[in-house]
Chains A and B, each alone.
Chain A
């Protein structure tokens, strides 16, 4: 019981706020606000039109209610849609950063020096609405790789952005995607040219800092023919009593024989132990395997957010393309997660794999919701799905909602799911070998999630394991 108290009392490690002067527009959402955002960002006319059209679509849409989550609907007029650390002159290197900002980054564990020592992860740091820093730009530039904030990409690589923006997640896709299209303020952009294997992990760190704001970032990643990139994404937010909204859109495009590996460690503030506050994480992520033998792999470790509504998907259009989804979702206290994936098979010989591991503790609810769709055109498609749930308390819930639609006779689709708790015999076995109960549980949970954690790049795997431990240790009595 002691352990239980200790854990439930565990503070959210990243719950500090940074005192940086910020430029924030008044709350509310209408066409004028969108014009202000667009103007502040010095955007071209086509993008403003694109945003306004998205806003009009959004106005006609209704918030989705089918997910297995309950929450108070956010008031979209009470959110400020643009907040930026007071603008500074553009920096040439990270050493010139605002010291306050650097301190924030250090506290988040993304010290730039350390990254350099680890031999290279290029980081794009997005605070509130705008990208504040991108590292390793020159080195990447030599290979022709474009890695910058999406605002910069709109200014400098407008054609590329225009060509791909909204092609994977159209504005009409869903309520939050439409909202994001109307008001997105920043995010990362990445283009890997033909035949280039990106030599380092690319990474974006998102942070909501200001109160009363929402974060609406947009990520666009294009891997040209025969290229490879591994991309990481991390996120945190300060501890607040209010619910903050995060509605992002991520679009990936993999052309012929290209491979994208996209990893997320999601650690938004989950609310306190009574379920007060926390981030609403309503995210649309989708990848398009456009070309022959292209591959997109999603790996996610979800430990944060009060409510999660997120389905990273793969559209397997190219023949022999491959989609993968590896997920560990941990919920504790009053967190609610409804997460999973969609695998849309269009091309021949397309393969997909889904491994989802849910862990529910406290009074939380954790749902897997996934769609496997084999279209009539997809001959010899193959899917394997496995969704396991682990229940830590008798007040938590674990749910599985797989949708399987098969329209082609040559398809092979398998789905299996199990739900169980940590066996007493397993714990007994560990205790017998001299581990205490805490270590035993940690070991069993890590073993349970290992299949997914192994897919993470090394640097992230360490962070993910630590997060798992923080979120869960001792939550079984």
Chain B
């Protein structure tokens, strides 16, 4: 059965309708591959816990959306990046609604972060932004990608980051989606020798979010950091799929994802760590922790290790549980209300992830936003 999204998507392709498209070759390649790919469904291992029916049934209208960048950039046609592996990354390549390319020159240290605010508002709006970052050797830079989704809309974004030898890149992704917004985001990071890249995903509110974060360590001595939190409420759905691919020796990676599940929400976590045959002396750590606040919430987690080298230190851990009764009692005994005590514990729990961000502005913004919504208690109190 052909779903609406698929047919909409084919309509766009065949009619060659006016759409802000990418340069030819990549889009054509993507369309020809997509013609033979099935729409993701729960029979596929990667989508086992993620329902795509509602997304598929949406009658989406491709628009360029409202995207503000700071500092402002020109739309680049040349810096298209690569095709990507996942279905939706290829849909993005085939029908991109706007692309930005930015190159950080060699030896350049830029303290001010580059920022994008990507808004997808209005019923049936469909935005497919693509951002390609190249951080040349010995450079240092910071990036913030702020997604804001509202109404019954769909944002399918791709961010590709190349971190050259000895470069350092800090990435913060803020997701603030409400109502019936669907967001799919693929972040692809390729790292060179002795490089450092840290990606923190702050999912403030996620109506329906699927994140694919793929970090590949291609150069010796590099480090990949991955962190994220999700606090889904009501019927919200948040899905984080991450891959850390250790291809060469002497690399390290550290991953921490934490979630607090309220109401009827559902979250999915899937973390893969690959250690290839020659990637000796790898150190890879992965952790996923979840707290269940409601009997109706669901968490499906699948931390995976696939290891083909023997001289490595790898571990992963996953926990799901409740707050320590003793900790709650301790706080109650000091005069906090039941609600207040829980909130304080959630604050401490989530801040561990937020603080992994190296961007102070983002840290403050996220903490403020969460405390305004009553999720955590701000530092000042």
A residues with CB within 8 A of B:
66, 68, 376, 389, 391-421
Contacts and interface: CB of A to CB of B under 8 A. Distances in A.
Interface string B246-282: 0000000000000001000000000000000100100
Q: Is the interface of A mostly helix, strand, loop or mixed?
A: strand
A-B CB proximity, top 3 nearest: A409-B292, A391-B310, A413-B320
B315 A417 contact: yes
Contact of B313 (A400, A416, A420): A420
A394 B310 contact: yes
A68 B294 CA distance: 35
Interface in B318-344: 318-322
Contacts of B305: 389, 398-400, 417, 419
Interface string B289-323: 01011111111111111111111111111111110
B251 to A, nearest CB: 15
Given A391-B307, A406-B292, A414-B319, 9 more contacts: A389-B305, A396-B310, A397-B306, A404-B318, A411-B292, A412-B321, A413-B318, A418-B315, A419-B315
Contact of A400 (B45, B294, B304, B309): B304
Given A394-B280, A409-B292, A411-B292, A418 B318 contact: no
Nearest to B49: A405
Contacts of A413: 318-321
A415 B317 contact: yes
24 contacts: A376-B296, A389-B305, A389-B307, A393-B310, A395-B277, A396-B310, A397-B306, A398-B307, A404-B299, A404-B318, A405-B299, A407-B298, A411-B320, A412-B320, A413-B321, A414-B320, A414-B321, A415-B318, A416-B318, A417-B315, A417-B316, A419-B313, A419-B314, A419-B315
Contact of A409 (B45, B293, B309): B293
A411 B301 CA distance: 14
Given A411-B320, A415-B319, A402 B312 contact: no
Interface residues of B, number: 37
Contacts of A402: 302-304, 318
Contacts of A410: 292, 295, 322
B372 to A, nearest CB: 26
A470 to B, nearest CB: 21
Contacts of B293: 409
Contacts of A389: 305, 307
A397 B317 contact: no
Contact of B322 (A68, A409, A417): A409
Nearest to A422: B310
A409 B299 CA distance: 10
B320 A392 contact: no
Contacts of B296: 376
Given A402-B318, A414-B318, A409 B306 contact: no
A403 B302 CA distance: 5
Nearest to B262: A409
Nearest to A419: B314
B315 A392 contact: no
A411 B309 CA distance: 35
Contacts of A407: 298
A396 B309 CA distance: 7
Contacts of A395: 277
A409 B310 contact: no
B300 A418 contact: no
A227 to B, nearest CB: 34
Q: Which of A401, A404, A407 has the most CB of B within 10 A?
A: A404
Contact of A394 (B292, B309, B321): B309
A392 B277 CA distance: 13
B278 to A, nearest CB: 8
A53 to B, nearest CB: 25
Contact of A416 (B295, B297, B306, B315): B315
B315 A401 contact: no
B318 A409 contact: no
Which of B49, B297, B303 has its CB near the most chain A CB atoms (within 10 A)?
B303
A413 B292 CA distance: 11
Nearest to A476: B310
Contact of A419 (B261, B277, B307): B307
Contact of A411 (B316, B317, B321): B321
A337 to B, nearest CB: 14
Contacts of A409: 261, 292-295, 297, 322
Interface string B115-154: 0000000000000000000000000000000000000000
A18 B309 CA distance: 41
B322 A401 contact: no
Contacts of B298: 405-407
Nearest to A361: B310
B320 A416 contact: no
A146 to B, nearest CB: 42
Contacts of B317: 414-417
B303 A397 contact: no
A421 B310 contact: yes
Contacts of A421: 310-312
Contacts of A403: 300, 302
B184 to A, nearest CB: 22
B160 to A, nearest CB: 28
B237 to A, nearest CB: 14
A412 B304 CA distance: 20
A302 B149 CA distance: 51
A404 B295 contact: no
A106 B293 CA distance: 60
A68 B306 CA distance: 10
A401 to B, nearest CB: 5
Nearest to B304: A401
A183 B299 CA distance: 40
A395 B280 CA distance: 11
Contacts of A399: 304-307
B320 A406 contact: yes
A66 B277 CA distance: 22
Contacts of A393: 310
B301 to A, nearest CB: 5
A87 B294 CA distance: 62
A396 B322 CA distance: 38
B205 to A, nearest CB: 21
Contacts of B308: 396-397
A408 B294 CA distance: 8
Contacts of B309: 391, 394
A309 B136 CA distance: 47
Contacts of B299: 404-406
A359 B48 CA distance: 29
A405 B299 CA distance: 6
Contacts of A408: 292, 295
Nearest to A401: B304
A404 B288 CA distance: 11
Contacts of A401: 302, 304
A392 B297 CA distance: 42
A336 B305 CA distance: 16
B320 A404 contact: yes
A389 B315 CA distance: 10
Contacts of B290: 406
A397 B276 CA distance: 9
Nearest to A379: B295
